[in-house]
Amino acid sequence: MEKDSVDDILEQWSEERPELDTASLGVVIRIMTLYRSFSREATRALEPLGLELFEYDVLSALRRQGRPFALAATALARETDLSSGAMTNRIDKLEDRGLVRRQPGKTDRRSIMIFLTPAGRRVIDKAIRYRLDAASDDLLALSAREQRQLADLLRTVVLNVANR
């Protein structure tokens, strides 16, 4: 099997500290490296739409809800793993672009609902195709079966980390 730069790192540690088992570090470094690469590719994929990755995340969260394509601002922040302050900033930018709109909650006027506008829906419906194409390109080295196996293994790790 061909070696990568992570193999070099692990070999260096093995030479310096042969008593250490570095297998887990090899997995984690590779995932971190892939994250950076996947983020760059996702950013590039969205450039033709003039969409930033953070904007995609917010629009995607709204679009996945189904009609009326809305979430309370606090739920949207949870869905995208952001603080309320960061979410407010992102909503402001998307609202300025006409991709979302705010509306006071019907039962609690202190709550704010965020709705995907028709323009926002058109953008996110194009963007998901760009993202799927980029993701498929990133995984060309794996068969469909291998991709499913990898997804299953990564799910197990994600659930373990989330349950700590």
**pLDDT reported for residue 109:** 67
**pLDDT reported for residue 93:** 94
Each residue's pLDDT tens digit, 70-127: 999 999 999 898 888 888 899 999 999 999 999 987 776 678 999 999 999 999 999 9
Classify domain 1-16+24-164 at the CATH topology level.
Arc Repressor Mutant, subunit A (1.10.10)
Whole-model pTM? 0.85
Residues counted in the chain: 164
115: number of Cβ within 10 Å: 16
Each residue's pLDDT tens digit, 129-161: 999 999 999 999 999 999 999 999 999 999 999
Find the angle CA(42)-CA(5)-CA(140) to the nearest 5 degrees.
40
Is pLDDT at 16 greater than 90 in this prediction?
yes
Asked if 120 and 100 touch (Cβ cutoff 8 Å), the reply is yes
Strands of 70-72's sheet, edge to edge?
A: 70-72, 112-116, 100-104
